Amino acid sequence: MSEASTARVPLHDLHVELGAKIVPFAGYEMPLQYPAGLMTEHLHTRKAAGLFDVSHMGQLRITAKSGDLSDAALALETIIPVDLATLAPHRQRYGFLTNDRGGIMDDLMVANMGGWLFVVVNAACKASDTAHIAAMIGDRVHIERLDDRALLALQGPQAVDVLTPLCPAAASMRFMDAIETDVAGVPCTVTRSGYTGEDGYELGMKASDADTVARALLRDESVLPIGLGARDSLRLEAGLCLYGNDIDETTTPVEGNLVWAMQKARRAGGAREGGYPGAAQIMQQAASGVSRLRVGLAPEGRAPVRAGAKLFADADGQIPAGVVTSGAFGPSINAPVAMGYVDTKHSETGTALFAELRGKFVPVTVSALPFVKPGFKR
């Protein structure tokens, strides 16, 4: 990607002022880390609070052409295999767009904001997602890309204490609640969710208001700015997928171990079963099983096993067993962590496998996800 094609996020000047190391990511100049460093940023988020700029992500406002929001939810159900029809006002849910083969085109969050649906998608997919949604259900919904808005995530066990003085409604929200309210006097979308495995919030606001909100949050001494580097290690420890690495158009929700996100109403025998692209493949896989599954992997020793490393069932690397899709050192568990796809026969927790690392074969154990206990306020 050329330099010329990278865009700046609304808080670019603040990131520079805070000393961020800026890197191109998904077409944006994004803060990779701040002077505190990735390790400190990661650990601080787990024990206090971290502020992330995720304004590169796509924010969509979807409304029903009929004026009845339930029509928009039902229309989205024809392209997203989760229960959106019963998603109550001011509640949010994880989901994904599927293609005709049952592969995942993107993973996303959908919130019922009362009069509209608030959809947050991955930065790299936002143009293709918007085009896909318009092509599939454009006759039933209005889709507005909220490109003039910023998105901040405040994550960590002290997030509630930081946000409440600036936003009194924050304290009584539960995990996956979604409201519109003021933060530091600025109108915001506020969801009690995030992508770190910690309690926390995501705040959406006009781009021109982002600096006001960010500075108000950073004024609290328990808040550190956190870059994309720590965001990646935090989500990996939390067992959460990075789209493009751990799930993509060639992996189905069944292979990706994401069937939990498909509520009963949308599964075989449910009130609104199927009716989305790839439903036949996904329901067939859910019923009769798949040949590979996404699992957590705990490498032995201290050496991280990275994305792309091949997995074997034997210590000599003769029997292929799968591939690593994300791998890093997990600062909170002080050990390497990874996830990847393995042949289903090797997918049981506790299975001993071997990862190829610089010509050697390192023992790895199939592990339950997440690696850290979630801090969600359910």
Phi-psi region of 200 (alpha: psi -120 to 50; beta: other; left: phi over 0): left
| Position among 4, 269, 288, 302 found at the interface with another protein (CB under 8 A) | 302
Q: Is 307 in the site for another protein (CB under 8 A)?
A: no
| Position among 303, 315, 319, 323 found at the interface with another protein (CB under 8 A) | 303
Question: What is the spatial distance between Cα 326 and Cα 341, in angstroms, rounded to a whole number?
Answer: 10
200-206 and 28-33 beta bridge pairing: unpaired
The 194-233 site mask, x for binding another protein (CB under 8 A), equals -----------------------------------xx-xx
Q: Is-contact 170 163, C-beta < 8 A?
A: yes
38 or 113, CB closer to another protein?
38
Interface with another protein in residues 319-348 (CB under 8 A): 328-329, 331, 336
- By CB under 8 A, which span of 213-221, 265-273, 302-310, 314-322 interacts with another protein? 302-310
Q: For the chain, percent helix, then strand, then coil, each to nearest 5? A: 25, 35, 40
14 or 328, CB closer to another protein?
328
- By CB under 8 A, which span of 30-38, 108-116, 263-271, 274-282 interacts with another protein? 30-38
Q: Is 33 in the site for another protein (CB under 8 A)?
A: yes
- Which residue ranges make up the annotated binding site? 202
Q: Is-contact 291 343, C-beta < 8 A?
A: yes
Estimate to the nearest angstrom the gap between the alpha carbon of 36 and the chain centroid: 24
Q: Is-contact 145 165, C-beta < 8 A?
A: no
- Closest CB 43 distance from another protein, rounded Å: 11
Q: Is 38 in the site for another protein (CB under 8 A)?
A: yes
Q: Is-contact 140 75, C-beta < 8 A?
A: yes
Q: Is 306 in the site for another protein (CB under 8 A)?
A: yes
Q: Is-contact 79 62, C-beta < 8 A?
A: no
- Closest CB 6 distance from another protein, rounded Å: 20
Written as six digits, the tokens of 14 are: 């603040």
Q: Is 355 in the site for another protein (CB under 8 A)?
A: no
- Closest CB 37 distance from another protein, rounded Å: 5
209 or 246, CB closer to another protein?
246
307 or 319, CB closer to another protein?
307
Question: What is the spatial distance between Cα 326 and Cα 340, in angstroms, rounded to a whole number?
Answer: 7
Question: What is the spatial distance between Cα 334 and Cα 74, in angstroms, rounded to a whole number?
Answer: 45
Give the closest residue to 54 by CA, choosing from 224, 203, 206.
Answer: 203
- Which residue ranges make up the annotated binding site for substrate? 202
Q: Residues 6 or more apart from 172 whose CB is under 8 A from it?
A: none
Q: Is 95 in the site for another protein (CB under 8 A)?
A: no
Q: Is 37 in the site for another protein (CB under 8 A)?
A: yes
Q: Is 363 in the site for another protein (CB under 8 A)?
A: no
| Position among 12, 15, 42, 126 found at the interface with another protein (CB under 8 A) | 42
Provide the H-helix boundaries in the chain. 12-17, 38-47, 69-77, 126-137, 159-163, 210-218, 228-237, 279-288
Q: Is-contact 248 325, C-beta < 8 A?
A: no
- Closest CB 222 distance from another protein, rounded Å: 22
- Closest CB 223 distance from another protein, rounded Å: 21
243 or 329, CB closer to another protein?
329
Question: What is the spatial distance between Cα 293 and Cα 172, in angstroms, rounded to a whole number?
Answer: 38
Q: Work out the angle between the directed axes of helices 228-237 and 38-47 (0-180°, nearest 10).
A: 50
If binding means CB under 8 A, how many residues of this protein chain bind another protein?
Answer: 19
Interface with another protein in residues 165-184 (CB under 8 A): none
* Residue numbers at the binding site for another protein (CB under 8 A): 33, 37-40, 42, 229-230, 232-233, 302-304, 306, 328-329, 331, 336, 358
